[in-house]
């Protein structure tokens, strides 16, 4: 079992920045890739970014490229999502997730999920 706890969400004005963190505990290992997803009210959960254990493989959703940056500290079992130039449409609950093997854009590839952290961007 892997436990994931997100932090860093909040309210920010459009154009601002937030930094989300995810702390992993339990059966963490070098086999796990990490991902960030988000879900806005009335919408499906969507992919944001993912990163391999080594950090060498990173994927972003097209709408986040250039604005969001994912990184991880494998020694500390943490993954971070730096979000810049935030827009009102970025408002959502952001989830951290862990998947065995290679990183993926697919929600069904992830085995463990955090409880989520709310990000609200005001216009």
Res 75: pLDDT = 85
For the stretch 37-47, pLDDT in tens is 999 999 999 99
Residue 27 confidence (pLDDT): 77
Nearest in space to 116 (alpha carbons), one of 36, 47, 60: 36
> What pLDDT was estimated at residue 72?
93
pLDDT of residue 53: 87
DSSP 66: T
Q: Which CA distances in Å does 83 have to 27, 49, 99, 121?
A: 28, 11, 22, 11
- What residues in the chain have per-residue pLDDT under 70? 28-30
Quote the pLDDT of residue 29: 65
């Amino acid at each position: 079992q892997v436990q994931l706890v997100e932090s860093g969400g909040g309210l920010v004005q459009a154009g601002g920045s937030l930094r989300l963190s995810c702390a992993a505990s339990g059966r963490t290992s070098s086999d796990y890739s990490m991902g960030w997803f988000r879900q806005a009210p009335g919408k499906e959960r969507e992919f944001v970014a993912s990163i391999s254990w080594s950090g060498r493989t990173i994927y972003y959703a097209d709408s986040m490229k250039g604005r969001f940056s994912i990184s991880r500290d494998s020694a500390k079992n943490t993954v971070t999502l730096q979000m810049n130039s935030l827009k009102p449409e970025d408002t959502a609950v952001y989830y951290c997730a862990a998947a065995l093997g290679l990183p993926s854009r697919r929600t069904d590839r992830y085995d463990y999920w955090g409880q989520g952290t709310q990000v609200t961007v005001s216009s």
